[in-house]
């Protein structure tokens, strides 16, 4: 983050896979506590800040691409099921028409028009209006039904092929954004590992603790039961680790925590902080109520939940567990009432 962060003591810190990023934004807050003789490393603070912000932007892009891929996977599955059902329908229709042909053969031979039922393109036969008077109305009706089914099947196959192509593009985007996040984090880790042990230790401590204390929210009353449920869910996640790309319950990124918390209130939020920004009515920060989503930075790359008394709950950054922070911990771009 930036030096404006006021870190709060939490428990249950987990040094799991997400801790590869543990110093990304912690560096900013920690440097504020480094003695004056460490001033030559102030450029480290700025660089780690920049890497953290870029990693968080890439995380939100990853979240969106991953969500799109999941949606497309469901749609492709549904399309394939539809194709299978349509093919079965066509097979049943062909079987029925085959029975008709067999009956004609047993009664003295197959009418040439019926033989055309089993061509690769029976629709071509129907398009020749001059021959329609050679088959019965019943036969013509079945042929038309088969032609319609074949056309529907061709359209469904084309749509499925398009969705498969979209899915491949989305998978490529997911992989690209993942590489971007990992590259930013690896660069930040390399930079911080080059610092003296004492300063690295300060970064690590700052990612887990601070002097803010647990805020007094005893007088805060949520505006309704739905918001109360969302806040209760967010508070139950306190201390769980930040894991980029995660939506809980064992770990979260910033927008994943908001989505998970409001799901407990029966409300579906979009996946990314940029989309959550428009998931309700925007209000001034001065009118913020418990349960409002507070979106940060001009690019809306971070989001938190306002809980009252100038405090928010959020998943800050890798290495820092879900916790309370002051609402003005960084520049606020908007406040959304869900």
Q: What is the pLDDT of residues 89-128, one digit of tens each?
A: 878 877 776 665 555 444 444 455 555 555 555 555 555 4
What is the bridge-based pairing of β-strands 323-326 and 293-296? Answer: unpaired
Give pLDDT, residue 211: 41
What gap in Å lies between CA 241 and CA 11, rounded to an integer?
Answer: 10
Look up residue 336 and give its DSSP letter. E
The pLDDT value recorded for residue 19 is 36
Intervals of the chain under pLDDT 70? 1-42, 45, 97-140, 203-213
The per-residue pLDDT for 130 is 40
Over residues 224-244, the pLDDT tens digits come to 999 999 999 999 999 999 898
User: What pLDDT sits at residue 136?
Assistant: 58
Q: What is the pTM of this model?
A: 0.59
With tokens 């940029």, the residue in question is 274
pLDDT at 72: 81
22 labelled catalytic: no
Three-state DSSP state, 306: strand
Q: Please give the Cα distance from 291 to 271 (Å, whole number).
A: 17
Residues in Cβ contact with 35 at an 8 Å cutoff, skipping those fewer than 6 apart: none
- Catalytic-labelled residue, pool 22, 41, 264, 302: 302
The reported pLDDT for the residue numbered 76 is 81
Identified catalytic residue from 22, 254, 264, 268: 254
**Sheet containing 293-296: which strands, arranged edge to edge?**
281-283, 332-337, 293-296, 302-308, 311-314, 323-326
Q: What is the structure's pLDDT at 53?
A: 77
Active site residue 41: no
3-state DSSP assignment of residue 279: coil
Beta bridge partners of 181: none
**Which tokens in the block code for residue 91?**
């097979």
pLDDT at position 124, please? 56
Q: What was the pLDDT predicted at 6?
A: 38
> Which of the 8 DSSP states describes residue 238?
T
Residue whose entry in the numeric block shows the structure tokens 């230790």: 201
What stretches of the chain show up as alpha helix (H) in DSSP? 26-31, 42-106, 112-115, 122-126, 137-193, 197-206, 225-236, 254-263, 273-276
**Cα 260–Cα 304–Cα 203 angle in degrees, nearest 5:** 110
The 10 Å Cβ neighbour count of residue 319 is 24
Structure tokens at 135: 């088959």
Task: Please say whether the beta carbons of 296 and 255 come within 8 A.
Answer: no
Which residues, in sequence order, are bridge partners of residue 312?
Answer: 306, 325
Length of the chain: 338
Question: What pLDDT, on the 0 to 100 scale, is given for residue 146?
Answer: 77
pLDDT at res. 206: 63
* CA 247/CA 329 separation, integer angstroms: 23
């Amino acid at each position: 983050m930036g030096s404006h962060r006021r870190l709060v003591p939490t428990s249950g810190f987990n040094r799991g896979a997400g801790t590869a990023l543990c110093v990304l934004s912690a560096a900013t807050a920690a440097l504020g506590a480094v003695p004056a003789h460490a001033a030559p490393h102030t450029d480290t603070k700025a660089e780690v800040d920049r890497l953290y912000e870029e990693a968080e932007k890439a995380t939100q892009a990853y979240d969106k691409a991953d969500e799109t891929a999941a949606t497309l996977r469901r749609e492709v599955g549904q399309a394939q099921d539809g194709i299978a059902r349509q093919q079965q329908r066509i097979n049943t229709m062909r079987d029925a028409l085959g029975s008709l042909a067999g009956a004609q053969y047993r009664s003295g031979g197959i009418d040439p028009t019926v033989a055309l039922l089993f061509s690769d393109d029976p629709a071509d036969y129907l398009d020749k209006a001059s021959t329609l008077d050679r088959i019965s109305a019943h036969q013509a009706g079945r042929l038309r039904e088969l032609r319609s089914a074949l056309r529907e099947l061709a359209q469904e196959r084309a749509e499925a092929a398009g969705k498969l192509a979209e899915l491949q593009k989305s998978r490529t985007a997911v992989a690209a954004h993942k590489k971007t996040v990992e590259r930013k984090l690896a660069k930040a880790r390399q930079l911080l590992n080059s610092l003296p042990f004492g300063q690295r230790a300060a970064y690590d401590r700052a990612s887990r603790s601070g002097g803010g204390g647990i805020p007094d929210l005893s007088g805060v009353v949520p505006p309704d039961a739905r918001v109360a449920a969302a806040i209760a869910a967010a508070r139950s996640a306190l201390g769980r680790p930040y894991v980029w790309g995660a939506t809980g319950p064992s770990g979260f990124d910033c927008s994943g925590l908001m989505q998970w918390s409001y799901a407990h209130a029966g409300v579906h939020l979009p996946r990314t902080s940029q989309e959550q920004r428009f998931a309700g009515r925007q209000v001034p920060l001065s009118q913020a109520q418990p349960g409002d989503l507070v979106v940060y930075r001009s690019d809306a790359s971070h989001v938190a939940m306002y809980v009252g008394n100038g405090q928010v709950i959020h998943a800050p950054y890798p290495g820092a567990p879900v916790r309370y922070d002051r609402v003005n911990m960084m520049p606020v771009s908007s406040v959304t009432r869900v």
